[in-house]
């Protein structure tokens, strides 16, 4: 009963997965966003490998909580992924997730240069963790 968290960007898509009990989110991969537009096979492989039952997608809202052009683009891409993977999708506010991911990685001693390839999956894990925490509080 795992969930897959996605931080969808133009160039890269960060991916994280929950544990089966939906308590902890862990970074998994960074996928090529341009390739996923043409072929979602790499994402499908992760869904099958982890036996995912739903997607949680970071929604890039403005600081005032409004949805702009980027949020609409993310919603469109997420809807396509959900349709092609036959999975439900939920959205989670991703404001400041990349900044928080960078701060956490810097605090862990990861240089800015090494962060580049990992930042998106750590941001996906933070987005998914925020969603999981919110679900537990709602129960």
Q: Residue with structure tokens 């928080």?
A: 100
What confidence score (pLDDT) does residue 81 get?
96
What confidence score (pLDDT) does residue 68 get?
86
Beta-ladder partners of 17? 4, 26
Which structural domain, as residue segments, surrounds residue 99?
A: 2-138
Contacts 24+ apart (CB under 8 A), 40-44: 40/81, 40/84, 40/85, 43/13, 43/15, 43/81, 43/85, 44/84, 44/85
Which CATH number does the domain housing residue 17 bear?
3.30.420.140
Number of separate domains in the chain: 1
Q: For the chain, which residues score pLDDT lower than 70?
A: 95-117, 139
């Amino acid at each position: 009963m795992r969930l897959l968290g996605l931080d969808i960007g133009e160039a890269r898509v960060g991916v994280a997965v929950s544990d089966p009990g939906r308590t902890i989110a862990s970074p998994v991969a960074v996928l090529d966003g341009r390739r996923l537009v043409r072929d979602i096979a790499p994402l499908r492989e992760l869904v099958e490998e982890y036996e995912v039952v739903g997607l949680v997608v970071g929604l890039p809202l403005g600081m005032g909580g409004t949805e702009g052009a980027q949020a609409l683009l993310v919603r469109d891409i997420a809807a396509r992924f959900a349709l092609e993977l036959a999975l439900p999708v939920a959205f989670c506010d991703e404001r400041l997730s990349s900044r928080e991911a960078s701060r956490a990685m810097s605090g862990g001693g990861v240089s800015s240069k090494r962060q580049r390839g990992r930042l998106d999956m750590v941001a996906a894990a933070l987005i998914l963790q925020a969603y999981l925490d919110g679900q537990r509080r709602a129960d």
